[in-house]
């Protein structure tokens, strides 16, 4: 039986006007959809497609009159089904909604007569994995891409390294090669291409100021001193800029013609080197990195946008580059809701585009989604917000904390959804409604099977150390021991 509450994320406008007898034979005109969609349609719905002339026809049409680039309309009628979108991305999202409807009707003798007009409130709906404190192989990352696509998310943020680990093997450099689970530059290129088929953009983060322990472990002369939570901050010198130029260059080389590069630039101590001008400031450092990024982009004939964390407001962004910089304030704890409100007001009044840093801190041991909902619902009137980033810091056990992504994706798409649970404040009442829907969704979309996610991810790693298994308690790499960040993080006051 069709239940509209199972549509995830919930559409902006939905009308159910009855039902009709389920078609016997169905044909499928994929149009601008990727080739794999036909195979997925048959596998997920259990419907074997036919090309006979009398078959019920499902059509996908590009129509420039659709206002939103990622929006779509879906009409299921007794005579045919039509999905219309402005772009192939919109058609792809309409296809995901169709799958969710038809998979509910597998054992029914009827289909619903339904009309949907839908589009996301936020253009960028991002999920971040922490490759600098935990481990992700290429197989696991591809599975995450597919899960994101099912949830209509369109960015995967890779925090490539941190104080504890480096998750990418840079060429002709020691970084990442001491981590047995790191991916190669070639695998990063493979992931970028793979994700594009699912309309997911890869956003790599290369820490360029603090959180650089896994780099300075191999180049101790660049260790300026501790960051905000121990770890290491760069000694800001020409040698550090030269190093970062090479690291950024290797990553940009495998990115698409238009890309966003995250350089972190937060939670660091200020240690200017002797070869810097006496009046050189963190603001000057941001400008220097922006110029480096644009120089690399020009060399590769690529258009690059800089994204950085907001750094507690202690480091400004030069006005002349603000048009191409995305600033990302964060807060993961719903107990800090007043702080979230202040940040929404602050960054909505600036010229720069900004991202909401939501998701879960490393201190949320079951994941978290209350703060994500608060961000999304309270920023709906911000004209310069680019989107929301659902982070998963320190861990790699997505199968245990899938709720943070599942629920976050719901509000990233439609923060004011008109479902019967979307505004429940009591977390137990909310879980009682939502977890059965999530388990139903997982049971019908194999990408999110718990045992499959767990198999692909390999060992459970938290903050650079293995948990459970034969290597329990051991460091993934010597950099995790050197970072000395296991204890002492004040999660409740990390805003």
Q: Which residues of the chain have pLDDT under 50?
A: 495
pLDDT (0 to 100) of residue 152: 98
Read off the tokens for 116. 């949907």
Tell me the two tokens of residue 320. 């002349």
What's residue 491's pLDDT? Answer: 55
pLDDT of residue 109: 93
Strand ranges for 10-119 from DSSP E: 13-21, 26-29, 56-62, 72-76, 80-85, 110-118
pLDDT tens string 75-87: 999 999 999 999 9
Beta strands 110-118; 13-21: pairing state: antiparallel
Q: Report d(CA 495, CA 477) in Å as an integer.
A: 29
Which domains does the chain possess? 4-118 (3.30.379.10), 124-493 (3.20.20.80)
Is residue 207 within 8 A of residue 162, CB to CB? The reply is yes
Coil/strand/helix, residue 198: coil
| Strand extents, DSSP E, 144-221 | 155-159, 168-169, 183-184, 201-205
**Residue 203 bridge partners (DSSP):** 157
Residue 165's pLDDT is 98
DSSP secondary structure, 397-426, as one string? -TTTSHHHHHHHHHHHH-TT--SSSTT---
What pLDDT was estimated at residue 328?
Answer: 97
Alpha-carbon gap, residue 205 to 175, rounded angstroms: 15
189-to-184, 192, 447 alpha-carbon distances in Å: 9, 5, 22
């Amino acid at each position: 039986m069709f239940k509209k509450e199972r549509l995830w994320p919930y559409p902006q406008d939905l009308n159910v006007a009855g039902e009709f007898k389920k078609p016997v034979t169905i044909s499928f005109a994929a149009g601008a959809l990727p080739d794999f969609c036909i195979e997925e349609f048959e596998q997920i719905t259990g419907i074997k497609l036919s090309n006979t002339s009398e078959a019920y026809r499902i059509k996908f049409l590009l129509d420039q009159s659709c206002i939103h680039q990622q929006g779509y309309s879906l009409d299921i009628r007794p005579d045919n089904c039509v999905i219309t979108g402005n772009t192939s991305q919109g058609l792809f999202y309409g296809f995901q909604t169709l799958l969710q409807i038809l998979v509910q009707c597998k054992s029914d003798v009827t289909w619903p007569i339904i009309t949907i007009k839908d589009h996301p409130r936020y253009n960028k709906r991002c999920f971040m994995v922490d490759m600098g404190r935990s481990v992700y192989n290429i197989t696991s990352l591809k599975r995450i891409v597919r899960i994101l696509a099912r949830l209509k998310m369109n960015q995967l943020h890779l925090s490539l390294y941190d104080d504890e680990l480096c998750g990418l093997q840079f060429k002709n450099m020691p970084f990442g090669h001491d981590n047995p689970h790191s991916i190669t530059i070639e695998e990063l290129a493979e992931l970028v291409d793979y994700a594009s088929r699912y309309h997911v953009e890869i956003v790599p983060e290369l820490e360029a100021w603090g959180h650089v322990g896994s780099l300075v472990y191999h180049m101790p002369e660049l260790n300026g001193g501790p960051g905000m939570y121990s770890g290491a901050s760069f000694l800001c010198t020409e040698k550090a800029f030269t190093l970062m130029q090479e690291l950024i260059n290797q990553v940009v080389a495998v990115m698409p013609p238009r890309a966003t590069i995250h350089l972190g630039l937060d939670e660091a101590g200020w240690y200017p080197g002797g070869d810097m001008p006496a009046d050189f400031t963190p603001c000057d450092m941001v400008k220097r990195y922006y110029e480096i990024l644009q120089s690399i982009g020009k060399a590769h004939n690529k258009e690059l946008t800089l994204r950085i964390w907001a750094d507690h407001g202690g480091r400004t962004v030069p006005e002349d580059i603000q048009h191409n910089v995305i600033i990302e304030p964060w807060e993961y704890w719903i107990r800090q809701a007043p702080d979230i409100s202040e940040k929404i007001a602050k960054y909505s009044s600036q010229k720069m585009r900004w991202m909401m840093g939501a998701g879960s801190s490393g201190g949320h041991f079951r994941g978290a989604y209350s703060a994500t909902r608060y961000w999304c619902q309270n920023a709906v009137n911000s004209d310069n917000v680019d989107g929301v980033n659902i982070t998963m810091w320190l861990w790699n056990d997505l199968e245990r904390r899938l709720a943070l992504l599942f629920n976050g994706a719901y509000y990233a798409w439609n923060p004011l959804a008109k479902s019967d649970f979307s505004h429940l404040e009591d977390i137990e009442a909310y879980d009682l409604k939502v977890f059965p829907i999530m388990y139903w969704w997982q049971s019908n979309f194999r990408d999110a099977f718990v045992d499959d996610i767990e198999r692909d991810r390999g060992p459970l790693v938290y903050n650079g150390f293995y948990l459970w298994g034969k290597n329990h308690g051991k460091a993934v790499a010597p950099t995790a021991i050197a970072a000395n960040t296991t204890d002492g993080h004040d999660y409740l006051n990390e805003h």
